[in-house]
Structure 1
Amino acid sequence: MMHGRCTLSRTLWIGLGALVALVILGAMADDGREATSLLGQPLIAQTLPDDVAADLNEKLDRAHADWIATPDDEQAIIWYGRRLAYLGRYREAIEVYSAGISLLPDSYRLLRHRGHRYLTIRQISHAIEDLTRAARLIEDHPDAVEPDGMPNARGIPTSTDHTNIWYHLGLAQYISGDFRAAYDSFTHCAARSTNDDMHVAAAYWRFLAHARSDGFEPARAEITFVTPHLDIIENDAYFRLLLLYSGQANRDEIAATTNGVQNATLNYGLAMWDLLNGRPEAAYEQFERIVDGPAWAAFGSLAAEAELARRF
């Protein structure tokens, strides 16, 4: 079953058969763009390998069927949106989440996911608004592991409802240039982290937020917990960059490993190393190379755009 990119119309049955008409507006612009970069450039969804696209579309079909069957179910809404986003259909995912929020206005999980995808399409103020509200709504709720849509090598999820809300809020604040607010959000995230992967991810961005506010050395004092022996499942790029920032790794060795899916992440971290160590021209050349690459949905690419936008 194919899900068109033009206007989506879905008739939703709520409760015991009451009919609610909900139109999900077409999400893609006519030119195929999913977003406009912070530098004003169109951002187009990447073409996936045929086998990957086929697998993701099959999973999307199942998620769509679940959503049609139970359109007011929080998890059905979330997974339909997530499956759209994995295919690069971020605006459609946002429309699905928005429809869900109209039914479940106090769902911090829906706000978390919509906030994430607002961040992806560079609508930073909307992301901050959603994630701030999610943080307020979840405050008195117990934490729960968030299932992975694309499991890591061990099949062990590393994030939770609380950590994901604070993590993405911190990212949105960091991108906006509000480094002190970002530092506070990543501190909340780190305090709720229960494994080395999440702790390292929060510590990486918190370090950068602190360094941008107060300088390299004060920030460095907060990453003394980092050792080569941490048990890292999936956040290897952040881990290696923290080893560099803490003086336990060599820049050139890390730079030699920046091929693959984590390119934008590693290259942004290396550029920040240059910037914080008095080599701004090298840093900005690296930022430009990052934004010229294909991985525009990566947080490293978004952060590089923000650096260039702030400069000009």
Structure 2
Amino acid sequence: MTNTGVLKTVRPVVSLSGATLTPPPMNPATRERLEANLAQVKTAYEANPDDPENIIWVGRRTAYLSGYHEAIDIYTEGLKKFPDHYKLLRHRGHRYISVRQFDRAIADLERAARLIEGVQDQVEPDGAPNRYNIPTSSNHFNIWYHLGLAYYLKGDFENALRCFTENKKFVYNFDALVANSDWLYMIYRRLGREQEAKTLLEPIRNDLSIIENDAYFKRLRMYKGEIAPADLLGTGGGDLDRELALATQGYGVANWYLYNGQIEKAKEMFTQIIKSPSWAAFGYIAAEAELNRTAK
């Protein structure tokens, strides 16, 4: 496996507009913890390099340190040993999204979806556990979620709709419900299917018990008119918290402007989002894709 030592440097990611994206600032204590986690899984890999789960965890821990290209390399080497391993394809597909290679992401995730068909679903362990240490998604869910996202980012809303509709079968809790519903809502609105988008919001009550997907929950409540767009961005937390909120919640706000005919305000928000350092966030990538499409 490549890069089995300490991850000192990572290859930069190139944005859809050709800009070089370098890793954002990271709290030293957080970096130390993530590096220790990476060292631990590398030790496990070296003890048993033929266990695909060990390969997956080295890739995941590498990506948490912004080593997205390096993680892809790790999964690729793993797939040479285990070419039909749907988990390796799921994780490589995810990281192809991070590096803006949507067609490769789609190829991996479509193949993963075929390979996992008929396999009993299982909870996918979290690499960055929530405050309750309760995983909220599954193997099937994550394949269809990321596949739908990759199609969405390409502007292929019909295929995105197919994927997120299929993914409703694997929604087992409120966190998964709001994550899947948020993208489905945006897809319906992009397709001009407003009544279906409105119907989708009916199960989203303001008393849902959400463990980690609060950003999706708030965006859906904004679409329902329960939260004002300006309130969604918030002003609390440190600089990095505000930047991440802009990249995630800001995309929902930009879409709200777009759906309500405020095109210039939407474009301003999309542009503001891509000035933040949180370029690995899906909201940032989606804003980048939006601006890239409209520039053509």
Under a length normalisation based on structure 1, what TM-score does the superposition of the two structures give?
0.88
Q: Which residue of 1 aligns with 2:293?
A: 310
Tell me which of 124, 136, 150 is aligned to 1:172: 150
Shift of 1:250: 2.4
Q: Does 2:53 match 1:64?
A: no
Shift of 1:217: 4.0
State the partner residue of 2:200: 222
Distance 1:191 1:299 in 2: 23
- 1:295 maps to 2:278: yes
Matched, 1:284 2:287: no
Preserved contact between residue 6 and residue 35 of structure 2 (Cα < 8 Å)? no
CA-to-aligned-CA distance 1:65-117 (integer Å, 9 cap, x gap): 11122112111001000110011111111111001111111111000000000
Task: Measure, in 2, the Cα distance between the counterparts of 1:47 and 1:121.
Answer: 18
Q: Which residue of 2 aligns with 1:112?
A: 90
Alpha-carbon shift at residue 231 of structure 1 (Å)? 1.1
The one-letter code of the counterpart of 1:273 is: W
Alignment of 1:119-198 (within 5 A): 119-198=97-176
Residues 81 and 94, structure 1, Cα contact 8 Å, conserved in 2: yes
2:191 pairs with one of 191, 194, 213: 213
* Match 1:244 to one of 210, 214, 222: 222
Paired with 1:224 and 1:202, the residues of 2 have a C-alpha distance of 14
- 8 Å contact from structure 1 (residues 211, 217) kept in 2: no
List structure 1 segments (4+ residues) > 4 angstroms apart after TM superposition.
none
Q: Does 1:272 align with 2:250?
A: no
2:38, 2:58 within 8 Å by CA — same for their partners in 1?
yes
- Tell me the SS of whatever aligns to 2:211: coil
Assess, with a 3 A threshold, how the Cα gap between structure 1 residues 5 and 277 changes in structure 2: closer, same or farther: same
Richer in helix (by share): 2
* RMSD of aligned Cα (Å): 1.6
Residue deviations 1:158-190 (CA, integer Å, cap 9, x gap): 010000000000100000000111111111222
The alpha carbon displacement at 1:4 in A equals 5.0
Alpha-carbon deviations, 1:192-247, whole Å to 9, x = none? 11000011000000110111012444312222111101110111011011011123
Contact 1:77 1:96 in 2 (8 A): yes
Asked if 1 retains the 8 angstrom alpha-carbon contact of 2:124 and 2:138, the reply is yes
Question: What is the deviation of 1:5?
Answer: 5.6
Percent of aligned pairs sharing the same letter: 44
Which among 6, 18, 23 is matched to residue 3 of structure 1? 6
Q: Is the 8 A contact 1:147 1:157 kept in 2?
A: yes
- The one-character-per-residue Cα deviations of 1:119-174 (angstroms, maximum 9, x if unpaired) are 00101100000000000100110000011111101110001000000000010000
3-state SS of paired residue (1:247): coil
Q: Which runs of 5+ in 2 are unaligned?
A: none
Unaligned residue ranges in structure 1 (runs of 5+): 7-26
CA contact (8 A) 2:206 2:221 kept: yes
Deviations 1:51-72 (A, max 9, x none): 1111111111111111122112
Supply the distance in 2 between the matched residues of 1:41 and 1:258 (Cα, whole angstroms).
30
Compute the displacement of 1:47 (Å): 3.2
Hey, what's the Cα distance between the residues in 1 that align with 2:7 and 2:205?
Answer: 48
Q: Secondary structure at the match of 2:191?
A: helix
> Is 2:57 the partner of 1:54?
no
Query: So what's the TM-score if we normalise by structure 2?
Result: 0.93
Distance 1:190 1:285 in 2: 33
User: How far apart in 1 are the matches of 2:231 and 2:281?
Assistant: 22
Offset of residue 252 of structure 1:
2.9
Partner of 1:12: none
